[in-house]
Amino acid sequence: MADLPAGYVYDMGPNTDRWVGWSTKDDVVSHGKASLDEDWTPYIDAAIEHATQQFRDRTGWEGDVREGPYLAGLMPHEEGEEFTFAVALKQDNNGWIYVWSPYELSWLGDHR
């Protein structure tokens, strides 16, 4: 598995409770096993751990989670990449949402 980039972290505020297009880890792992007979668990675990470390290092995230982490598939950026994910979660104490992506998602505004 390739090293994940520092990527882009977005501090979204408590602006949504709707996670349309986002999936839980279990849903993504189930899809990989059912449709491709592949276990994506190690990659997904690494992406979630990396994203949460970026949240800790670059935002005020305190480590508590109300919802998530959720994953959203992204189109491969480079030839040879099979898939990658954005990771998001909602902090419990104030509902703040944090999003990590290996690629810039400019429509989300400023990143850290």
- What pLDDT does residue 79 have? 75
- pLDDT tens digits for 16-55? 777 888 999 999 999 888 888 889 899 999 999 999 999 9
- What pLDDT does residue 1 have? 45
Smallest CA-to-CA distance from 110 within 6, 5, 7, 12 is with: 12
pTM assigned to the model: 0.89
- What pLDDT does residue 26 have? 94
Confidence of residue 2 (pLDDT cuts 50, 70, 90): low
Q: What are phi and psi of 16, to 5 degrees?
A: -160, 150
- pLDDT tens digits for 42-90? 999 999 999 999 999 999 898 999 999 999 999 877 777 777 899 999 9
Residue environment code for 73-87, b if the CB has 16+ CB neighbours within 10 A, otherwise e: eeeeeeeeeeebbbb
